[in-house]
Amino acid sequence: MFGNSYREVIATIPTNHKRLLGVACVGGAEAWIYGNNKTIIRIDIHGTVRDTVTTTCLSCPGGISVTRGGELIYSDIFSGTVNFVRDGKSETLIIAPQGWTPWRLCCTRSRDILDGGNPLFMSENNNRDVCVSDRNADTVVVVDNTGKVRFRYNGTQARREKSFAPRDIVTDALSQIIVADNNNNCLHILDQNGKFLRCVEDCELTNLSGLSVDSEGRLWVVCDNGEIKVIKYLGQS
């Protein structure tokens, strides 16, 4: 049971990427990461490389995720495909319709795959709401599973110094919505009904380019200088 909130950086993980683009946690102490090349790497919380996958992408994946069964998937924006990795080899799972470019990925509880375009980041909450971070409108939009808009969040409630610039978005075991704010180098946390709860800041977060939550309830936050911050932000009661 989770109680009072706090924040503590329990690990700062350096990587070989000068520009790190995304992260997808695997269990409680490992994650897949990717940068500006064809390779996706699995590392542990100590920074040790556990596995490496060379993708079929011409440059780098558009996004990565991990299925409910623990399989790695990635999008290839040039071929217009979503691919899964099995035994170290890539196989095509989805071919996008003409005019669509698969980008950021989210695996739902019903084993469907959500795909966000270049200015969009998406996540599914425990109540099956779809949470969308829209870079064009600088707004978070949450819709229910019928597509009806439940609420919008534009960052004003947090009273930050600079304008809200939402990027990656995730949800946690408490159905809280966590969104990276690139202008203010912090994370906004909302409840499932859109109420602003608090910001996670003062953790030396800069130029945030990816978020994921591990099975221990810790945030893995990607900074584009090639570092990952693992943050414990929920206390045990």
- ∠ CA 68-29-77, nearest 5°, is 50
pLDDT along the chain (237 residues), means of 10: 58 89 94 94 96 93 90 93 91 88 79 68 92 93 94 96 94 95 94 95 86 95 90 70
CATH of the domain at 223: 2.120.10.30
Q: How many domains does the chain have?
A: 1
Q: Would you state the pLDDT for residue 188?
A: 96
Give how far the C-alpha of residue 78 lies from the chain's centroid of Cα atoms, to the nearest Å. 21
* Nearest C-alpha neighbor of 207 from the set 195, 194, 223: 223
Q: Residue 162's CB: how many other CB atoms inside 10 A?
A: 11
Sequence-separated (6 or more) residues with CB below 8 Å from residue 26: 32, 42, 66, 70
Q: Would you state the pLDDT for residue 90?
A: 92
- What is the extent of the structural domain holding 214? 2-236
Is this prediction's pTM over 0.85?
yes
